[in-house]
Amino acid sequence: MNVHSYFYIGDTMSEIKAFFDEKLRSHLNDNEDLVEDIDATYLFNVDNESWYVDLTMFPPVIEAKTDEADCTIGITSEDLMAIANKELDGMSAYMQGKLKIDGNMALSLRLQSILEFD
């Protein structure tokens, strides 16, 4: 386990649930300007689960569900955690085929600011 990581990289859905419900929610709640600047919706299809992130309001809504979104992201749990842990760059993940994007491509460029925490 990387002690500098926010999460142990594995494939359990409980880790992904903790990432969205705790870490991502906390990060976005602490960054109102970021949420207001992005002003869009994302759907993350991670392994066999879907997470809807609505950044059109503050506080943002993060739910385990499928819904229409401005930008849909397909990624494995391992690669999502690697991006969050700054072990994988979002652009590199896309270029390597590890990150699938559907919808507004410009919003996908904002992923690094959404998924990386200090």
Catalogue all structural domains in the chain, each as residue range(s) with its CATH number. 13-113 (3.30.1050.10)
- Give the pLDDT of residue 57: 97
What are the tokens at 101?
């994007």
pLDDT at 116 over 50: yes
- Give the pLDDT of residue 56: 98
Percent of the chain with pLDDT over 70: 87
Which class for 48: exposed (0-12), middle (13-18), buried (19 or more C-beta within 10 A)? exposed
- Give the pLDDT of residue 118: 62
Q: Which of 55-69, 71-85, 87-101, 104-118 has the lowest mean pLDDT?
A: 104-118
Contact (CB, 8 A) for 78 and 46? no
- How many Cα atoms within 13 Å fall on the side-chain side of residue 4? 6
Q: What is the pTM of this model?
A: 0.86
Rounded CA-CA distance 12/10 in Å is 6
How would residue 94 be classed by pLDDT, with cut points 50, 70 and 90? Answer: very high
- Give the pLDDT of residue 23: 92
Q: What is the CA radius of gyration of the chain?
A: 13
Rounded CA-CA distance 113/91 in Å is 12
